[in-house]
Chain A
């Protein structure tokens, strides 16, 4: 029988780590992420893994790097300000092609902001996050089930492409409880980790370092571009919902995509032909999918809990061919940090957009 449990998104992330064979976790507490830390402090040692609460997120990501270079599946989790602190070593790991999984349970920013929900980290994580023009894969979870499954997928992708994979959620997904089928996911064979540092013993050869491309920086960027192209070709994931005859296409991810789904159903009850495109990989972004869908659409409405970050990728994909509207943070039901974008508000926006009173 399936192991079915009621889990918050944060607990589901922890389960995903355990089912994904994560053997080391380093992290620092921050709301709304701390339950991941607390869960793994309890469960990871039982699963034969190492858990360590660090002095800060800089140390956490440095330990992730060190642990991962020994070939160990390693993860950290934090929320927005912690993601900022980690960036120098995320950039270093991109340079040295060291895999890692980092979870961002996004809170309201900028600055220390507020611990409640938002989607204000979109640009930071999808555009790499730190210096040096690298990229990270970004998986956006919209349910507890997806938290569990995508963390496992993130480990596979990280090992497959030797890079950092972010799993992006938000305070709403992190803190809401839903039923989850705890299942180990198999994504296929992975290349040998012949690059790891474990002393000369296991290799029997000479000392090795993780420092590629010292004398060929152009080659480094060419290789990276080739890898990014391969990922864009093979790894794009999205969900499209009631899209068949849609004339209005909503684009949303994370908790907002759940609200957008509700809005699609409400709008359809009123005879409006609305569908939803939910990118699951935010990078690589489903640019071509959106382009094709837009051929049938009169309107695109991006809904996001920020001042307009996802909308930039949508505009870039559509190149001005279809009008793109944005319902941003002003669509929340309150003006303080406890605001949420509800389905009714999205429907209202759709009606205004298509000119139905």
Chain B
């Protein structure tokens, strides 16, 4: 008999604390598979800042340490500058990367830091109980937008990937989702490209992943997959946003 599916070697044998149907669990699986397939475990270091995934270091069997909320890109910069042989990734929520950590993200990208940001967009602040995130959709109800997000008051869902794409040091940016087997496979490919851009010493890479948060969306897992298709993707279209990895000159 041929084994076609197994637990990733680098995913520790401990139960996830994530809610049923949460996208974080899927993405952890994809990443630990990839780290193994790309033989990166000997030199990879991950930074999960606060967010539902702040305890990611309980699950990835690689070197990891948290940062303060929003500071992942700067901490990753410190690691990479001091120890350039490392492959460094951050694992950040939308609140973390696109609100409190905006400055660090843009400047790390602009310096072309050889790091990879895994950016989990679930349109809410999951960990703190479902408040509005910078990515919350217009009219979306959250605990701090009980009447729906009013863009006249709260501003618009921010397209951080497109913003970062404007910055010269960013070389690979793609938006994917984990709401169908096909999209999950595409997500894995995207993360591989992000890591490869770093391995090839080209510059900053960012993979934005639309990820279900059934708990705070007040949906069951299936509805949350559908909501990504029907609502989120309209605001945050999937696809490669920037790829200059094949070019020799950033211009």
Contact = CB atoms under 8 A, between A and B. Distances in A.
Interface string B1-43: 0000000001000000000000000000000000000000111
Nearest to A58: B71
Contact of A62 (B43, B62, B71, B87): B71
Given A24-B81, A50-B82, A200 B74 contact: no
A56 B106 CA distance: 13
Given A59-B71, A59-B103, A62-B67, A198 B83 contact: yes
B78 interface: yes
Interface stretch (A69-77, A134-142, A172-180): A69-77
A52 B75 contact: no
A165 B210 CA distance: 42
| Size category of the binding interface on chain B | 20 to 34
B79 interface: yes
B47 to A, nearest CB: 7
A64 B45 CA distance: 16
Nearest to A23: B82
A222 interface: no
Nearest to B88: A66
Contacts of B104: 55, 58-59, 62
Given A62-B104, A89-B68, A197 B79 contact: yes
Contacts of B103: 55-56, 58-59
The A contact surface, by secondary structure, is: mixed
A191 interface: no
A350 B53 CA distance: 60
Interface string B43-83: 11101000000000100111111111001001111111111
Contacts, number: 126
Given A26-B78, A207-B60, A211-B66, A70 B71 contact: no
A208 interface: yes
Interface in A36-61: 50, 52, 54-56, 58-60
A26 B108 CA distance: 13
B180 to A, nearest CB: 30
Contact of A206 (B61, B75, B76, B79): B61
A56 B80 CA distance: 18
Given A200-B41, A207-B61, A64 B78 contact: yes
A66 B63 contact: no
A72 B77 CA distance: 13
A66 B68 contact: no
B77 A63 contact: yes
Contacts of A197: 45, 63-65, 79
B76 A66 contact: yes
Interface in B125-168: none
Nearest to A63: B78
B78 A208 contact: no
Nearest to B10: A207
B86 interface: yes
Interface string A59-102: 11011111111101010000000000000110010001000000
Contacts of A50: 81-82
7 contacts: A52-B77, A63-B77, A66-B78, A70-B82, A199-B42, A200-B41, A207-B61
